[in-house]
Amino acid sequence: MRVQMLGLCRFSYVGLRGYQKDHASIEERRAFLYDPRRLARRWLWFTTLALPGWLAQTDPDFALVIMTGPDLPEPYLSRLRDLAAGTPQLRLELVPPMERHLEACRAAIAPHVDSGADVVGHFRHDDDDAVALDYVAAARRDFTRVEGLWRSEGCLSLDHSRGLMLRAGAGEAQFVPRIAHNMGVALTIFLRPDQPQTALHFNHTKLPLWMPGVAVTRPLMFIRGVHADSDSGDMGPGVPWQIEKAELDRQLSRRFGLVRADLDRLAHAAA
C-alpha cells in the first residue's frame, strides 16, 4: 500500500478565520502578522525548533507544504524560497489572502496530493513546534498496524501523544512533559487521495465526531512551543509524566536533533 505523508505549515499566512485570534479585516490581520518584531521571532522559532526535525527525518518520503502570502516581507519570502529550492521535501505555496481559511489551506495542499497513493497521511505543523526525527517513519509504520480500521471507515486519526511543552520564560527553556491527546502536532489524519479535506479541515479537539482514532503514547514524539506569540497561548489538557533533566537533554538530542543551549537562547529571545 502506498501511503503519502503530506503536511501543511502556515507561516504568517494572511487570511481571515482559521486562528484563535480574530481580526476584523485582511488589513488588520496583515498588520498583526507582518509586524517586523513578530516576524523576527517567528522566524527564530521556525529555524531553531521546527525546521531541524524536518531536515533530518529518518524517512525522507514526505512533503511539507509551507503556506504563506505572496506579499510576505523580505527577507523572509526569499529565505523560504531558498529553503524550498534546496530541500525536496519542502514545498512553498504562495496563497493570496482569502476570507475562507479552509479553502486557502486546500488550495495550498491540492497540487501536492499524489493521486496514485492508496492513502494520504495529512498532518498540520505549526512553525513553533517540533516533531521527532522518526515521526514520518513511525506514522507510516503504525498505520500498517491499524490499516483495517481505516479501510472500514475511510478515515482515521493516529495520534502520537507523548510530548514536551516548551515554555519561554525566566531566560531559559522550561519543559513540561505531557501526554496530550489530539494536540495537533504529531497527529496524522489518514484519508483517501480523492477526499477534498486536509488536516486543517478537522478540529483536532473534536476528531471523534468524524472518525475513529488511535493514540500511540510512546515514544516521545513532539515539542509544542508555548509563548507570547502562540495562537492558543496555553498548554491545554494532558497527563503529566516524569523525566530527569539529564535524560531530557539526551532526549532532545536523540529524538529531535536539538541542543538545550539553543533552546535556552530561543526562550530568552522570546521572553
For residues 236 and 242, the answer to whether their CB atoms sit within 8 Å is no
pLDDT level of residue 29 (50, 70, 90 thresholds): confident
**Could you tell me the three cell numbers for 175?**
519543559
> pLDDT exceeding 90 applies to what percent of the chain?
83
Distance of CA 74 to the CA centre of its chain: 23
Indicate the CATH number of 3-270 among 3.40.50, 3.90.550, 1.10.3470, 1.10.150.
Answer: 3.90.550
Q: What angle do CA 104, 119, 60 make, to 5 degrees?
A: 80
- pLDDT of amino acid 164: 97
For residues 84 and 90, the answer to whether their CB atoms sit within 8 Å is yes
Listed in sequence order, the residues at least 6 apart from 151 whose beta carbon sits closer than 8 Å to its beta carbon are: none
> pLDDT exceeding 70 applies to what percent of the chain?
93
What DSSP character marks residue 244?
-
Sequence spans of domains, the chain: 3-270
Task: State the burial class of residue 2 (Cβ atoms within 10 Å of its Cβ: 0-12, 13-18, 19+).
Answer: exposed
Query: Residue 67 and residue 198: Cα distance in Å, rounded?
Result: 13
- pLDDT of amino acid 269: 83
Residues 117-124, mean pLDDT to the nearest whole number:
98
What pLDDT, in 10s, does the model give residues 163-217?
A: 999 998 767 899 999 999 999 999 999 999 999 999 999 999 999 999 999 999 9
- Bridge partners, 226 (sequence order): 167
pTM equals 0.94
Query: Residue 55 and residue 131: Cα distance in Å, rounded?
Result: 11
CA-nearest of 123, 135, 128, 102 to 232 is: 128
Query: Residue 46 and residue 66: Cα distance in Å, rounded?
Result: 11
Q: Up-side HSE of residue 81: CA atoms within 13 Å toward CB? A: 11
pLDDT level of residue 227 (50, 70, 90 thresholds): confident
Mean pLDDT of the chain: 93
- pLDDT of amino acid 25: 81
- pLDDT of amino acid 23: 66
